[in-house]
């Protein structure tokens, strides 16, 4: 990179050296859609779970805690259920990367499915922490009807498997569960990355956070976030663009000549 700024990143993205762009997303890309992130002081979900009487905030997403007390998760799931939120300009920016044949893979930790709703091609998305799209019994793994689970969550009623009476939950990955096979299958592709763009994540949860270390040493890494995260900034071609991600991707989009396209495509998500 010529410099450690958005214009230099855009210049590199328009060169022949940059063909495969990988993106890593976290909860920060959806906060402007009205979905809280987890760890931001004051506004993050983990700071606002007092009403659920949890022993500690992360328990709401722990499989062993859920087995004994599923109600806190069901209560939270009602607030987080997809369908009522609109993708943000940042989600649309990822779609533009695909439209411009630059996007190889978008790894996301988010379960809100806003990448799909922004029309990022499905085969380019890896939902590393699963999503609300499917649901299973946690004991016998029998699938459960989505409409029924949704109705149960709306009423804060715990759903049970028709066969073994085990607890049912959406296929979002809890602490203590494995990440989807697709995640593990896709990780090696990072060795071919020409650019990594990390947006809206505190990079505190592994194995996802460790992905930043899988790209080649000379691959530029860009962090777009409200705060510094992980070790991005340590390598020669690391770029840290601090601020609200929607503002920063608009700046980057403008440097790429995509400003109008970004607004036009985002308007379609309304």
Q: Which residues are catalytic?
A: 129
User: Both tokens of residue 113?
Assistant: 């499915």
Where does this chain touch ligand OAD (CB under 6 A) — which range of 39-47, 62-70, 113-121, 260-268? 39-47
82 binds ligand OAD (CB under 6 A): no
Binding to ligand OAD, residues 132-191 (CB under 6 A): 173, 175
DSSP state of 199: E
227 binds ligand OAD (CB under 6 A): yes
129 binds ligand OAD (CB under 6 A): yes
The candidate with the shortest Cα–Cα distance to 107, out of 40, 19, 174, 201, is: 201
89 binds ligand OAD (CB under 6 A): no
Binding to ligand OAD, residues 52-81 (CB under 6 A): 61
User: Distance (Å, rounded) from C-alpha 5 to C-alpha 84?
Assistant: 35
User: Distance (Å, rounded) from C-alpha 220 to C-alpha 232?
Assistant: 10
Q: Considering Cα of 243, then 110, then 82, then 114, what sign does the dihedral take?
A: positive
40 binds ligand OAD (CB under 6 A): yes
By beta-carbon proximity to ligand OAD, the closer residue of 240 and 254 is: 240
By beta-carbon proximity to ligand OAD, the closer residue of 149 and 223 is: 223
Cα-based distances in Å from 200 to 23, 245, 259: 11, 7, 21
Contacts of range 231-239, beta carbons closer than 8 Å, 24 or more positions apart: 232/198, 232/203, 237/1, 238/4, 239/1, 239/4, 239/5, 239/6, 239/8, 239/9
26 binds ligand OAD (CB under 6 A): yes
226 binds ligand OAD (CB under 6 A): yes
Minimum CB separation of residue 165 from ligand OAD in Å reads: 26
Q: Which residues bind ligand OAD (CB under 6 A)?
A: 26-28, 31-32, 37-40, 44, 61, 109, 129, 173, 175, 200-202, 204-205, 225-227, 229, 244-245
């Amino acid at each position: 990179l010529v410099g450690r700024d958005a214009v230099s990143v855009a210049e590199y993205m328009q060169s022949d050296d940059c063909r495969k762009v990988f993106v890593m997303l976290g909860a920060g890309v959806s906060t402007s859609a009205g979905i809280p992130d987890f760890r931001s002081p004051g506004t993050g979900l983990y700071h606002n779970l007092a009403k659920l009487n949890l022993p500690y905030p992360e328990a709401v997403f722990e499989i062993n805690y859920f087995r004994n007390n599923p109600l806190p998760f069901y209560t939270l799931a009602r607030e987080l259920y997809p369908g009522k939120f609109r993708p943000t300009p940042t989600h649309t920016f990822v779609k533009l990367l695909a439209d411009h044949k630059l996007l190889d893979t978008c790894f996301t930790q988010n379960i809100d499915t806003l990448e799909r709703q922004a029309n990022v091609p499905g085969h380019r998305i890896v939902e590393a922490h699963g999503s609300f799209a499917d649901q299973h019994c946690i004991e016998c793994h029998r699938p459960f009807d989505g409409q029924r689970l949704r109705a149960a969550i709306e009423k804060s009623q715990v759903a049970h498997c028709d066969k073994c009476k085990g607890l049912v939950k959406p296929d979002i990955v809890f602490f203590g569960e494995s990440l989807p096979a697709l995640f593990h299958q896709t990780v090696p592709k990072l060795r071919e990355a020409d650019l990594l763009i990390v947006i809206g994540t505190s990079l505190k949860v592994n194995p996802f956070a460790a992905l930043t270390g899988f790209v080649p040493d000379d691959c530029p890494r860009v962090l777009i976030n409200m705060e510094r995260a992980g070790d991005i900034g340590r390598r020669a071609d690391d770029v840290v663009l601090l601020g609200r991600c929607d503002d920063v991707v608009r700046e980057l989009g403008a440097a790429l000549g995509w400003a109008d396209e970004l607004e036009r495509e985002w308007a379609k998500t309304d």
